[in-house]
């Protein structure tokens, strides 16, 4: 939506408000980021967990359920041994034990287990996220220069490990207060076919999350011999999971995506209760 008149502007603000409401609900969901209570990076060999022993052999993770432990998967009991699938290997498998959820995930060559608890204090005490007032000027229409062929980068993560991601192009744009054109490189999120930006700006120093924020944009349609555009709506810029819990893992902001201007739009820094 591109606001052009007073009615359009009001509708646009309402649309962004609804977006943030949905975002807060996802965070506070029983499986949202606010429920994370632990994370364990796994070593090659045996790793002891409350529900049993998780043995790593290369890319295989095999769980041996502790005798007498009431472990379930999709409501069905899990006993004996089972090979676990990480979230990159298909639909996420969630094991439940003693009121907590255990999920295997991979960051490059590194495997880890995250633990969720729907009764986590962070979820119970959540009171919303402060954000800047919605400002249509921060809905930026950028020129999108495709890379042909697409490039690739290694997303580096805060706990180590990296993930090879496709970079389909670069967004070039101007913003209020900037003397020259800016640019951001996204990676392609394959599940949703959207562009995913990890970016920093000068507000990180005082008002927004220190290491940067995230932004999604729709991928431009494939149209040969035409100029491509992408909408960067910074009013929907949002904090990474690491802003809410030390047990999340987040990609580091690429050096080229650290903007030397302030982007006072989207979510502000989260004040944990």
pLDDT at 91: 66
C-alpha distances out from residue 149 to 145, 154, 191, 240, 256, Å: 12, 17, 20, 29, 20
pLDDT at 109: 78
Q: At 26, is the secondary structure helix, strand, or coil?
A: helix
- DSSP-derived letter for residue 7 is H
Sign of the CA dihedral with 186 first, then 189, 192, and 196 last:
negative
List every span in the chain annotated with CATH 2.60.200: 33-124
Q: Label residue 249 exposed, middle or buried (CB < 10 Å: 0-12, 13-18, 19+).
A: buried
Q: At 31, is the secondary structure helix, strand, or coil?
A: coil
pLDDT at 177: 78
pLDDT at 158: 82
Question: Which residue reads 């608890």 in tokens?
Answer: 117
CATH 2.40.50 fits 33-124, yes or no: no
Question: Which residue reads 């990890």 in tokens?
Answer: 198
Segments in the chain below pLDDT 50:
none
Model pLDDT for residues 136-192, shown as the tens digit of each residue: 999 999 999 999 999 999 888 887 777 889 999 999 999 987 889 999 999 999 888
pLDDT at 56: 94
pLDDT at 110: 82
Query: Cα(216)–Cα(238) distance, rounded to whole angstroms?
Result: 9
pLDDT at 88: 60
pLDDT at 271: 86
pLDDT at 1: 55
Q: Are 95 and 71 in contact (CB under 8 A)?
A: yes
- Cα 44 vs. chain centroid, distance in angstroms? 27
Q: Are 166 and 187 in contact (CB under 8 A)?
A: yes
pLDDT at 103: 94
């Amino acid at each position: 939506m591109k606001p052009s008149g007073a009615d359009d502007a009001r509708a646009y603000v309402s649309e962004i408000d609804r977006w943030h409401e949905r975002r807060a609900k996802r965070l506070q969901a029983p499986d949202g980021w606010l429920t994370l209570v632990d994370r364990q990076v796994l070593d090659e060999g045996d790793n002891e967990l409350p529900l049993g022993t998780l043995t790593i052999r290369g890319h295989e993770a095999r769980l041996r359920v502790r005798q007498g432990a009431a472990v379930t998967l999709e409501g069905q009991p899990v006993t004996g041994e089972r090979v676990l699938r990480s979230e990159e290997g298909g639909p996420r498998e969630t094991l439940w034990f003693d009121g907590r959820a255990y999920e295997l995930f991979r960051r490059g060559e590194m495997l880890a287990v995250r633990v969720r608890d729907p009764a986590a204090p962070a979820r119970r005490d959540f009171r919303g996220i402060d954000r800047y007032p919605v400002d249509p000027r921060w809905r930026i229409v950028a020129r999108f220069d495709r890379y042909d062929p697409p490039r690739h980068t290694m997303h580096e993560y805060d706990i180590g490990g990296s993930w090879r991601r496709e970079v389909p192009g670069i967004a070039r744009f101007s913003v209020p207060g900037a003397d020259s054109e800016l640019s951001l490189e996204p990676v392609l999120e394959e599940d949703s076919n959207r562009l995913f930006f990890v970016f920093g700006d000068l507000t990180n120093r005082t008002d927004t999350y220190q290491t940067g924020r995230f932004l999604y944009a729709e991928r431009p349609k494939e149209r040969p011999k035409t100029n491509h555009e992408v909408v960067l709506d910074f009013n929907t810029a949002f904090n990474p999971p690491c802003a809410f819990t030390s047990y999340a893992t987040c990609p580091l902001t690429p050096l080229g995506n650290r903007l030397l201007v302030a982007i006072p739009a989207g979510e502000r820094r989260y004040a944990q209760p």
